[in-house]
């Protein structure tokens, strides 16, 4: 069973970003499925790496659009991205070093990490970006 289910409630009103968020949701679900199926650290590490890389890519994409349109919330949103990136890279490094294991606790953390950011910081840009013709 999927850990996170995408719904319109998570839509930020910008289709390119919704699609990227869906990809992040899919990667977290993939990680959860692999963990539940008892896959080894090689498989889990690969998905975790992909999640970390895609997170960095997605945040860069959002920030480039914010910069282009002089989004007033850019500073604090960038700080939030930096913190989230640090957390995910830190876990990835510890996992690769054999100092951390995947657990339901971590999966819960990743779920909250993504959904809270979307519902709070991301949804705050919807009206501004839509008013600039970005949708």
Round to whole Å and give the CA distance between 102 and 114. Answer: 17
Residue 60 Cβ, how far from Fe ion at the closest point, in Å? 11
Residue 66 Cβ, how far from Fe ion at the closest point, in Å? 9
Q: Which residue is nearest to Fe ion (CB)?
A: 122
Residues 12-71 within binding reach of Fe ion (CB under 5 A): 62
Which residue, 83 or 93, is less far from Fe ion as judged by CB?
83
Residue 63: C-alpha distances to residues 7, 15, 88 (Å) = 24, 16, 18
Which residue, 44 or 80, is less far from Fe ion as judged by CB?
80
Residue 100 Cβ, how far from Fe ion at the closest point, in Å? 25
- Considering only 20, 71, 106, 122, the residue that binds Fe ion (CB under 5 A) is 122
Helix (H/G/I), strand (E/B), else coil: 7: coil
Residue 130 Cβ, how far from Fe ion at the closest point, in Å? 16
Residues 71-110 within binding reach of Fe ion (CB under 5 A): none
Which residues of this protein are in contact with Fe ion, per CB under 5 A?
Answer: 62, 122
């Amino acid at each position: 069973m999927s850990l996170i289910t995408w719904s319109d409630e998570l839509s930020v009103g910008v289709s390119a970003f919704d699609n990227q968020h869906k990809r992040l949701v899919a990667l977290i679900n993939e990680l959860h499925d692999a963990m539940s199926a008892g896959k080894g650290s090689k498989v889990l590490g690969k998905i975790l790496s992909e999640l970390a890389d895609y997170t960095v890519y997605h945040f860069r994409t959002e920030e480039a659009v914010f910069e282009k349109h002089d989004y007033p919330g850019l500073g604090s949103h960038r700080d939030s991205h930096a913190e989230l990136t640090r957390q995910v890279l830190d876990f990835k490094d510890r996992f690769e070093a054999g100092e951390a294991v995947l657990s339901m606790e971590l999966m819960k953390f990743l779920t909250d990490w993504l959904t809270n950011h979307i519902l709070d910081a991301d949804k705050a840009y919807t009206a501004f970006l839509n008013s600039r013709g970005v949708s």
